Structure 1
Amino acid sequence: MTSRRFIASLVLTFCLGALPAAAQEPSGAGLALGVRGAFGIPVGDAFNDLSLSDTFGTTVAPQVDVSYFFTRQLSLGAYFQYGIAAGPGNECADSVNCTSKVLRFGIDLDYHFRPDGFVSPWVGVGVGYEIGSWEFGEGAENTRLELRGYDLGHAHFGLDLQLTRSIAVGPYISASVGQYDKLSARLGTVFEENDRDIISDHKQLHVWIQPGVRAQFRL
């Protein structure tokens, strides 16, 4: 056997031998889909001296998110949450012509500590945008308030139960700090004002605390 054939045979043998190892040690990179359900607890003021609890009340907040895993530990993703709010003073539950909601969307950076363990703790941080609104009545006689502003930062912590290599389910809790800087309001045909900046003296920080459950599917 010539030296050229020997080297080629050696390289081929090495490559074939490396295939099982490569199959056993995937990088973990790829997309993941998350579905969450949370209960939102408001803390602080919406603006001026109006409390967030009196403005929107508590929320039941389903959420979807799409993440890209750079490794099995680190992911970057985008989320959208639709919070069904109890309404001002929790009155929406008793009114057939009342809707109240808090929409939140943004980006998250998460880190999973033990992605190959059955119990896998994870932490994450992110930023986003928030739109809260409520509306009473119908047609031209309705009353409406909408507040918009940035989610200045949020952090969350969870425990995944790794049911399979691709499916995880578990509890989590998140806390976000936000501030509304835009307001629009309508009081029937008497008053209407759109997209007004909230003056600096009336801006307030508020917090949403959200315990919940997440299911994540790695694609």
Structure 2
Amino acid sequence: MKSRTQWMLCSLSFALAASPALADDRDDSNSEYADEAGASEGGGGGFALGLRAGFGVPFGKIAASDDGQTSNKLSDAFSAAIPLQLEAGYFFNPNIYVGAYFQYGILTLKDDCAEGSDCSASQLRFGVNAAYHFQATPMIDPWVGLGIGYEISSQSASRTIGSTTVEADVSVKGLEFVSGQAGLDFRITPKFSVGPYVTYTLGQYSSIGISGSSGGTDVDESLDIEEKAMHSWLYGGVRLQMRF
């Protein structure tokens, strides 16, 4: 009986001694993510690469109307955009990011292409942006940002008539004065995050380019848009980001 009592006391002593150690191990494992996140995400900053994909819709006008009757709405030419954006930048501290971006988008035409013709449209956007990350928790990171850049929207059409191929390209380009951005990053790992984003741009086309060929005759010219107007794009989608 005495040996059994001694055995029970020894077991109880071992359990009491082991419990704090196990608790420390659990605390260490739980804090390991936060510590690593703090070191890689917010400790001393570092480089970051990002990729965005989504959907966009246009607002505003390509140019103002001289007669007041022609709409010149951007949505009369393009109904939507399917963008893919690459970005690279640097975190100066846990919160402040500055970088550059390049976006290529497929534009869908408002009207169907004429029978017998091939049509396509695309968009280029590039510039710089800055963002502030709030670091709400080690795993949830809401952010807001501002950017400035340049935009080129193009439409191409070609048609073969007999033995002659007619090709035409029209593009409008101009400054993107500001792009307001916001998003919510969910950290899959301390270095990799994914989450939704939204971007609203405000810009103005300043020139129109026309190029093409028909029967050996080439045309290539650029004209300034005299009656300028403001236009916008509203984008939304998913962003992935990797920090180093």
TM-score (structure 2 length as normaliser): 0.73
- The answer on 1:216 being equivalent to 2:241 is yes
1:59 and 2:84 are equivalent in the alignment: no
**Corresponding pairs, count:** 194
Aligned: 1:194 with 2:221: yes
| Structure 2 residue aligned with 1:70 | 92
2:120 counterpart of 1:127 = no
Q: Which runs of 5+ in 2 are unaligned?
A: 1-34, 65-70
Deviation at 1:96, TM superposition (A): 6.8
Change in CA separation of 1:96 and 1:34 when aligned onto 2, cut-off 3 Å: farther
> Matches of 1:72 and 1:98 in 2, distance apart?
46
Q: Out of 204-213 and 49-58, give the one that drifted further.
A: 49-58
Aligned counterpart for 2:177 among listed residues 144, 148, 152: 152
CA distance in 2, matches of 1:101, 1:144: 11
Distance 1:121 1:95 in 2: 49
CA RMSD of aligned residues (A): 2.4
Q: Residues 95 and 47 (structure 1 numbering): CA distance in 2 closer, same or farther, change over 3 Å?
A: farther
Q: Deviations over 1:60-115 (max 9, x none)?
A: 0011100100012111000000010002x2425x9872120010000010010016
% identical equivalent positions: 35
Within a 5 Å distance, the mapping from 1:174-189 to structure 2 comes to 174-186=199-211, 189=214
1:85 matches 2:107: yes
Structure 1 segments (4+ residues) deviating >6 Å: none
Instruction: Report the AA paired with residue 77 of structure 1.
Output: G
Deviations 1:119-161 (A, max 9, x none): 2100000100000000111585123211010001011110110
Q: Distance in 2 between matches of 1:194 and 1:105?
A: 23
SS state at 2:76 partner: helix
In structure 1, how many angstroms separate the alpha carbons of the residues matched to 2:136 and 2:222?
45
State the alpha-carbon separation in 2 of the partners of residues 155 and 142 from structure 1: 37
Asked if the contact 2:196–2:237 (Cα under 8 Å) also holds between the matched residues in 1, the reply is yes
> Aligned in 2, Cα 1:42/1:217: closer, same or farther, shift over 3 Å?
same
Worse-superposed segment, 110-119 or 155-164: 110-119
Is residue 56 of structure 2 the alignment partner of residue 37 of structure 1?
Answer: no
Kindly name which structure, 1 or 2, has the bigger radius of gyration based on alpha carbons: 2
**CA–CA distance in structure 2, aligned partners of residues 145 and 214 of structure 1:** 31
Structure 1: runs of 5 or more not aligned:
1-22
Q: Kindly tell me: are residues 43 and 116 of structure 1, through their superposed partners in 2, closer, same or farther at Cα, counting changes over 3 Å?
A: same
Deviation at 1:197, TM superposition (A): 1.0
Q: Partners of 1:62 and 1:95 in 2: how far apart?
A: 30
Are residues 114 and 90 of structure 1, via their aligned partners in 2, closer, same or farther at CA, if it must alter by over 3 Å? Answer: farther
Equivalent-residue separation in structure 1 for 2:51 and 2:136 (angstroms) = 18
Matched, 1:118 2:143: no
* Alpha-carbon contact 2:212-2:220 (below 8 Å) kept: no
CA distance in 1 between partners of 2:116 and 2:88 (Å) = 35
CA contact (8 A) 1:56 1:132 kept: no
Q: TM-score, length-normalised on structure 1?
A: 0.80
Query: Are the equivalent residues in 2 in contact too, given 1:56–1:134 (CA < 8 A)?
Result: no
Match of 1:101 in 2: 122
